[in-house]
Chains A and B, each alone.
Chain A
Amino acid sequence: MSDKGLPALVCENVTMRFGGLTAVSEFNLVVPEGALFGLIGPNGAGKTTVFNIVSGVLHPSAGSVKLFGDDISGFSPDRIAHRGIARTFQNIRLFRNLTVLDNVLVGLHVRREANLAEALLALPRHRAEEARMASTATQLLRDVGLEDFSSYRASALPYGQQRRLEIARALATGPRVLLLDEPAAGMNPAETEDLMRLITDIRERFDLTILLIEHEMKVVMGICERMTVLDHGETIAEGTPAEIQCNERVIKAYLGGGVVAEN
């Protein structure tokens, strides 16, 4: 590929203002290809805002986002999905009334080749594609361990499996970069262990670059190679898990600044 060596995802001086509030200011990020990168910070630090900017839900007030060197800032979410960024959501957003299999099939729709006329007339290319999509979707469900539930309504799945389904649906769009927004939220320790295995596993199998928001320190410290720490919209630290764990500004942001004691 021509873009070998370019970082998978770059944020350059990304700033997001909502009226008078600056949610993210001068944010810089370089995620190398194939990395498993963490984005952490206390509540309200601007992590999800960064995700929304990268995935096109929000358009940054200033700065740019680059995917393998191409500027994608200001693109609509569906164009960004075409370019190869997929995401999951902090508060699960499945297609609740569709079956588990159909949820994954919607993700595959983005890579379709047959057009509407072929679909309406059930022409061979459409039929072949539908068959191919069904087997790909089934394989993806097997990958995340949901193959036995493919005909269930998505809303009928237990919470932990809904999160897995979101990951399968995101993988179906054929991404090169995967954004996971608090994938372990609300999971018990055993489910979290499984999830960590799943994340490292899909990175290998699908040749992915993963950017991860997480509050569960066990997950972040356990699987991320590097991470960026945000607080009040500003980057306060960047480094390996070991560096972050003993960084004073990070500890201050998480445990409080001790303002009273200093006075």
Chain B
Amino acid sequence: MMARKRVVLSILKIAAVCAALVLFFLLLAWGQEHWDAYTVRILNLCGIYIGITLGLNLCNGFTGQFSLGIAGFMAVGAYTTALLTMAPAIKQAVYFIEPLIYPLNSIQWGFLPSLLMAAIVSGIVGFLVGAPAIRFRGDYLAITTLGFAEIIRVLFTNIVPITNGALGLKGIPPHTNLVWSWGFALVCVAVMARLMRSGFGRALKAIRDDEIAAEAMGVNLFSHKCLAFVVSAMMAGVGGGLLGNLITTIDPNMFRFPLTFTVLMMAVLGGLGSITGTVISAALVTVAMEALRALEEPRVIFGLALPGIPGMRMVVFSVALMMVILFFPKGFMGDRELSLDRAKSLATRLRRANTSRQG
């Protein structure tokens, strides 16, 4: 009886989740047509940054391998997707200094296979960079991966027959919409949640806490660190691809260090090692980045004309980051998660406190 009840309950649960997902995506599809372009753009960025930040958090937060190469992986993914989705005629027009090499100049793929290819290519690059780099620890790993991201950027500026050099790519088809970007975010959340609830996720956290003990307990450091590095690179690559097809133009200078810094800030604010914290903070920071643009406009306050100061937003973010580090050294969520169980246990604790006060 009990077993059957449990099966029914779990089927109901799955059905409820599926229904919620379908509703969510229907809403997004409807919103894509009916919400204004500015809102849609920001929501798209939210979804994309949630995925990318989760990837960064997998490597930097959960596994404790402080990597600063995320912009490089995003560049790899963005260029891969863009080159595969652009129409041959547009490619011919864009590459006017040197023509694009065969076969890239004559193919055009759909969006999904292009994104999958971006995941594969950035995953391979992630392995090639990660395999030697993860022998380093701490600061050295950070410097190595930062150097890698810069190398990618310089390479992309100079391999003109493939990347069109500093001119970048224009006329990338605007495939990215709310369904794609939030679909990506949800896939990343699901992958992270599954991973962290399995033995593999526990092994990654064990590496973060104590490498020597983890290895003595039979955790293969190389393969587990590679796993974190490659999955992280794949998420960044797909995110980069979605970003390129959202803003329809990319050039190597987009993928400088500040991009890595933005993603890192999202992860640190939310809590290195928290999935829900990352989702909340990536969405908040993306929205705030736009909302705070108001600070950079010229305005009149109490009859005093203030000129607009470009970069004021970043000052605000710096202050916010310092405040968080001072008051929440581990970010908003630390390495905890928001979950229904947690909310429930909080509620029972409150109720118990209440009754004990009354009694």
Contacts and interface: CB of A to CB of B under 8 A. Distances in A.
Q: Do A and B bind each other?
A: yes
B210 A94 contact: yes
Chain B at the A interface: SS class: helix
Contacts of A76: 215, 220
Contacts of A170: 217
Nearest to A89: B213
Interface in A222-261: none
B212 interface: yes
Given A102-B202, A109-B202, A96 B210 contact: yes
A261 B198 CA distance: 65
Interface residues of A, number: 36
Contacts of B208: 97
A95 B205 contact: yes
A29 interface: no
A50 to B, nearest CB: 15
A34 B212 CA distance: 27
A130 B195 CA distance: 12
B346 interface: no
Interface residues of B, number: 27
B243 interface: no
B198 A107 contact: no
Interface string A128-159: 00100100000000000000000000000000
B342 to A, nearest CB: 12
A253 B39 CA distance: 78
Nearest to B221: A78
Interface stretch (A15-23, A80-88, A199-207): A80-88
B70 to A, nearest CB: 22
Interface in B158-217: 191, 194-195, 197-200, 202-203, 205-206, 208-210, 212-217
Interface in B320-342: 335
A162 interface: no
A121 B273 CA distance: 22
A106 B214 contact: yes
B213 A120 contact: no
Nearest to B201: A119
Contacts, number: 97
Nearest to A116: B200
Contacts of B116: none
B308 to A, nearest CB: 45
Contacts of B198: 119-120, 126, 130
Contacts of A109: 199-200, 202-203, 217-219
Contacts of A87: 216
A57 interface: yes
B195 A120 contact: yes
Interface in B266-317: 273
A77 B203 CA distance: 15
B199 A95 contact: no
A107 B215 CA distance: 10
Interface string A50-86: 0000010100000000000000000011100110001
Interface of A: 55, 57, 76-78, 81-82, 86-87, 89, 93-98, 102, 105-110, 112, 116, 119-122, 126, 130, 133, 169-170, 172-173
19 contacts: A76-B215, A78-B216, A78-B218, A78-B220, A89-B213, A93-B210, A95-B209, A95-B210, A95-B214, A96-B210, A106-B217, A109-B199, A109-B203, A109-B219, A110-B218, A120-B195, A130-B198, A130-B199, A170-B217
